[in-house]
Chains A and B, each alone.
Chain A
Amino acid sequence: HDQIVSGIDWSSTSNKIVTVSHDRNSYVWSLEGGEWVPTLVILRLNRAALCVQWSPKENKFAVGSGAKTVCICYYEQENNWWVSKLIRKRHESSVTSVAWHPNNILLATTSTDGKCRVFSTFIKGVDTKDSKAGSSAESKFGEQILQLDLSYSWAFGVKWSPSGNTLAYVGHSSMIYFVDDVGPSPLAQSVAFRDLPLRDVLFISEKMVIGVGYDSNPMVFAADDTGIWSFTRYIGEKKAASSGSSYSSQFSEAFGKFYGQSKAATANDASESSKSRGGVHDNCINSIVPLSKAGSPKVMRFSTSGLDGKIAIWDLENMQEELGHQF
């Protein structure tokens, strides 16, 4: 890759890693003899690729891009390479996040035009018409099933619940949206929360979602028995603001050098705004992925990675009582 790798996903059963980058390319890495060997995938994109995810059956993967398109790639056995099919219509801006429905056919996408859309990605020869899948099996490739117009601002981080019944995504206006019964008449709920917007979400069970974002502290959202979602708590404890120690920033000193004065002492009393975050992450948390044993419906452990360069693994075993009976 020539530019930053913007998306990566590891398929657990077929043991392949797919990576996409701002240089419009994508590689599928296979483990051969202890080394990871890349295979180029021709995505036919003319802008950067922003996100990627393997489908639940791992025979396809979806790539969201800045070219306002989504690429669905599948493996063609005869030619021994990955072929891409593009969903060109509908998106008015960059596609920031993609998520596969458990039935391997429906794909949800979020975009910087603020909308969340659900498409059918039925490909002849790859997907089989399954009576269980219901109406989605009859749809054409690239057909838009649903468009959700809940957010005024950019949308990120879409995920399906384990059963595929509920969809959750976040908007940049510090809102998280939950949609139940995705289909012709969906039930949408918007939950507004204080503090900074989220970037990504994860369903840890049918009724509990963890969101991560600019607050550097994962947030827990839960649905009660009537199905109403609300914010429960932060995972880590937020320490109270304390600005005792001397505040010195590299800028203060650079600034001071121009006057030959030392600025370090003067800044103390003025800036009561410096809060000590005191959490695991110092900067925005970009993504959250589950660490679960295959087949288990609940996610007990997950990992988060942030702009501060840290990866943290969180264990929910001890928090079960605090999280409540929904968990």
Chain B
Amino acid sequence: MCLQNFPCQEVERHNKPEVELKYVRCMTSPELLLNPVLICLNEAEKCLIETSINSLRISLKVKQADELENILTKKFLRFLSMRAEAFQVLRRKPVQGYDISFLITNYHCEEMQKQKLIDFIVQFMEDIEKEITELKISVNTRGKLVATEFLKQFM
């Protein structure tokens, strides 16, 4: 996470996270981007890390075993992404093909400690897994209770 302040080479007096301009930039300043790294646990769980001289984008795809987990993940991560300002390093929309994305810029590295940022993201990933499982269990339990109560009247 070695990021530094870098003024925009294409537009004067602007300072933008270079990784966000990847698709525009490929033609003009490819030298400012580094090779993206894709870490796959299996088909369903992936982590894409894209870096540039002043910014870093981490995109995660969470394991979704069945339809229920699919819906839960989508709603839960959408809830978090909508409140991205509170997290500062979270991106409001995940990158195409992934469930959630982080955008870390050089300004974040100046204000916060690099090690803590890394710990936060790792912690976040672990917690997502836990939360989704918990939510799934609670939905299933509720479903069972409601169904039992409802069907009692037919007994």
Q: Which of B57-65, B66-74, B108-116 contacts A (4 or more CB under 8 A)?
A: B108-116
A15 at the interface (CB under 8 A from B): no
Report chain B residues within 8 Å CB of A271: 119, 122-123
Q: Bin chain B's interface residue count.
A: 35 or more
A-B contact count (CB 8 A): 95
Q: What residue in chain B is nearest A196 (Cβ atoms)?
A: B2
- Known contacts: A112-B53, A255-B87. The answer to whether A307 contacts B109 by CB under 8 A is yes
CB distance from A149 to the nearest CB of B (A): 14
Q: A4 in the interface, Cβ–Cβ < 8 Å?
A: yes
Give A285 to B118 CA distance when docked, in angstroms. 19
Q: Are A114 and B120 in contact (CB under 8 A)?
A: no
Q: Is the CB of A22 within 8 A of B13?
A: yes
Question: Which residues of the partner chain A approach B119 to less than 8 Å between Cβ atoms?
Answer: 247, 249, 267, 271, 273-274
By a CB distance below 8 angstroms, the chain A residues around B149 are none
Tell me the dominant secondary structure on chain A's binding face.
loop
Q: Does B15 contact A (CB under 8 A)?
A: yes
What per-residue 1/0 map shows which CB atoms of B126-142 lie under 8 Å from chain A?
11000100000000000
Give a binary string over B1-28; 1 marks a CB under 8 Å from any A CB, 0 the rest. Answer: 0101111110011010000000000000
Contacts of B122 in A (CB 8 A): 270-271, 273
List residues of chain B with CB within 8 A of the CB of A252.
120, 123
Determine the chain B residues whose CB is within 8 A of the CB of A144 once the complex forms: none
Instruction: For residue A195, give the distance in angstroms from its CB to the closest CB of chain B.
Output: 11
Q: A282 — nearest CB in chain B belongs to which residue?
A: B113
Shortest distance between the CB of A151 and any CB in chain B (Å) = 12
A contact residues, total (Cβ < 8 Å): 46
Residue of A with least CB distance to B89: A251
| Residue A218 at the chain B interface, CB threshold 8 Å | no
Instruction: Considering the complex, give the chain B residue whose CB is closest to the CB of A216.
Output: B114
Q: Tell me the complex Cα distance, A64–B17, Å.
A: 21
B12 touching A48, Cβ below 8 Å: yes
- How distant is the Cα of A114 from the Cα of B15 in the complex, in angstroms? 21
B residues 6-56 with Cβ under 8 Å of A? 6-9, 12-13, 15, 29, 31-32, 34, 53
A92: which B residues are within 8 A, CB to CB?
31
Specify the chain B residue showing the minimal Cβ separation from A214: B2
Known: A267-B119, A271-B123. 17 other contacts (CB 8 A): A23-B13, A24-B12, A47-B7, A48-B13, A92-B31, A93-B31, A114-B31, A153-B34, A154-B31, A172-B2, A247-B119, A249-B120, A254-B87, A271-B119, A273-B119, A274-B115, A283-B109
Interface residues of B (CB under 8 A from A): 2, 4-9, 12-13, 15, 29, 31-32, 34, 53, 80, 83, 86-89, 109-110, 113-116, 118-120, 122-124, 126-127, 131
A-B contact pairs, 5 of them (CB 8 A): A112-B53, A154-B31, A247-B119, A271-B122, A273-B115
